[in-house]
Amino acid sequence: MWLNSLVSGMQNTASNYGIGNGKNEDPAAALKLNRYIAGMKAGQTIQGEIVSKTGSEVAIKLADDMVLNARLENDMELELGKLLTLEVRSNMGGTLSLSPLFENMGLDANVLKALDMAGLPTNDRTIEMADSMMKNGMSVSRESLQEVFKKVITYKDVPPSDIVSLHKLGVEVTRENLEQFNNYKNLNHQVIRGVTDVVNELPEAFNTLMQSGEPTKAVALFDAVINTVILEQEAEPETVMSQNEPAAITAQENEPVAVMPQVNENPEVPVQVAAQGESEAPAVLNETKAETEAQAIPQGKEEAAQTTVSAAPNENQPVNIQNRIIEMYTAAKTPEAKAELFADKEFQNLVKEAIVNKWTLTPEAVTDKSNVEALYQRLRTGLSHLELEARETAGTNAPITQAATNLNNNIDFMNQLNHMYTYIQLPLKMQNGEQHGELFVYTNKHSLASKDGSVSAFLHLDMDNLGPVDCFVAMKDSKVNTNFRLKDDETLKFIEDHMDILNSRLEKRGYSLNVKCNLMDEETSGMEEILKTDNLKVFGGHHSFDVRT
């Protein structure tokens, strides 16, 4: 919507406002208004109150009782008494072209006041910034607003609300983190998807280098992957992260912590996922998955169910694959022999499968926190080496480099997020493929609000047959309350019909279960739950969350 101003003069009282009729004008006031208009430049803003409206013509009361008469170019609903902020689009010959900011939402006067007190300009981006900060319960002091504003003008192509969200999360505002945050918002954040991208791009990068007449670089890339990712051998000193780099997560006594270790962090630092002293806490998830889905999936889905919930059928398979790679690799004594081996489709598939085995977990392995810790150690170390080698051989803009960089940035983002929130992704290895899981414990590490011993968590799983599954879990003492959100009526009925299996196994371990099942309106991400944390009433207190329960 645009407004073309028609300057007519200034009136002293609302009862005398005229729309372009020139009546009751004070020459001195009209001159003052004209000077005011002449001094306005594109990008500046005008704030005023709608005091009169006749057809397409409106009168806007500005500061010092000046009245600006304007005509609406398009059909635009304006209410009398409404506060309006207008941005100057152009000023030609004393005629202003104005555009209302946030024309479809009522502006909180406190937003405008906060910006004014902070000495910041009033435009659509600063209004969105201040409004978002208020809605997120953040301070809108002069210092806070100016700090966020610096990032808003630095990243002009990013919604100010995204920048505000990173500040709330305690995550550094960088281009990389803003991109990752956008991925998390749009459900494009899965670590398992990043792993798949890397393993798919690796043979493509090798083939491209070979076709480009770069066999030495092609062999060097595969050499690095086999040695540093699959065999986990030491890389050159410059490719290893600093030994002095601080640990990403340090578990405090009885505090729930997601496992996000950095490379070379102290292995003696304990990291909690399961509750202390609960080695026999319910391992029900593992024990009932196969029985529940394989036996009780609706007619026609039994075979699919068997593959959905089972881990790799042969626990020695990863070792066998790695041994086969070592055997073939050590037999290739010359660069030419290596080039021929690396070009072999069978060998490429073995390497891809070996990487997936290194960078995923079976459902059984998730129950041991040391396995999750080791997984992220392998990911961080392997990706650091792979990204560096890909840059040197394939180039910065090569798909393999971009895939490794994006996955590395994703893990870095999670690492920063875990300084304040307990959140972890679980890339799962199933018999019929890889699946995504994520766990968020409702605990702000710097604001443990609940002292009643309760702990709540959000678990999200993407399954081939069940589809997306959201599970909200609340535990206090021996009581477990769960709320499942499922994609359709068939899945909901299946869960309801066979929840007694889970309930009986929990009862054997002294837990009582209360279950609710609902259809989901839309898929929820862990990031959405994290951003709502400050509005929740149930937090993690001083107790760890047992992921197995």
Please write the tens of the pLDDT for every residue from 171-203. 999 999 999 999 998 888 889 999 999 999 999
Same structural domain, 292 and 317: no
Same structural domain, 442 and 503: yes
Phi, psi of 330 (to 5 degrees): -70, -20
Please write the tens of the pLDDT for every residue from 38-93: 888 887 777 788 888 887 777 888 877 788 877 765 555 567 777 777 777 777 76
Residue 119 lies in a domain: no
Residue 111 lies in a domain: no
Q: What is the mean pLDDT of residues 105-124?
A: 80
Domain end, chosen from 112, 143, 169, is at 169
pLDDT of residue 460: 87
Residue 427 lies in a domain: yes
Domain end, chosen from 376, 397, 416, is at 416
Dihedral sign (CA 253, 258, 259, 262): negative
Same structural domain, 331 and 381: yes
Q: Side chain identity at 203, as an amino acid letter?
A: P
* Inter-residue contact 473 to 313 (CB < 8 Å): no
Beta pairing partners, 5: 70
Rounded to a whole number of angstroms, the CA Rg of the chain reads: 30
Same structural domain, 73 and 50: yes
Question: How far apart (Å, rounded) are the C-alpha atoms in residues 59 and 79?
Answer: 12
Q: Which domain holds residue 46?
A: 3-100
Residue 116 lies in a domain: no
Same structural domain, 317 and 353: yes
Residue 296 lies in a domain: yes
Same structural domain, 44 and 84: yes
pLDDT of residue 543: 28
Domain end, chosen from 65, 100, 135, is at 100
Same structural domain, 217 and 332: yes
Same structural domain, 411 and 441: no
Q: Is the pLDDT of residue 269 over 50?
A: no
* Inter-residue contact 114 to 140 (CB < 8 Å): yes
Residue % of the chain over a pLDDT of 70: 71
Q: Highest-confidence range of 32-36, 154-158, 524-528, by mean pLDDT?
A: 154-158
Phi, psi of 132 (to 5 degrees): -65, -40
Q: Is the pLDDT of residue 449 over 80?
A: no
Same structural domain, 381 and 467: no
Q: Is the pLDDT of residue 362 over 60?
A: yes
Q: Is the pLDDT of residue 498 over 50?
A: yes
Lowest average pLDDT, out of 93-97, 255-259, 271-275, goes to 271-275
Q: Highest-confidence range of 5-19, 109-123, 335-349, 478-492, by mean pLDDT?
A: 335-349
Residue 108 lies in a domain: no
Same structural domain, 459 and 479: yes
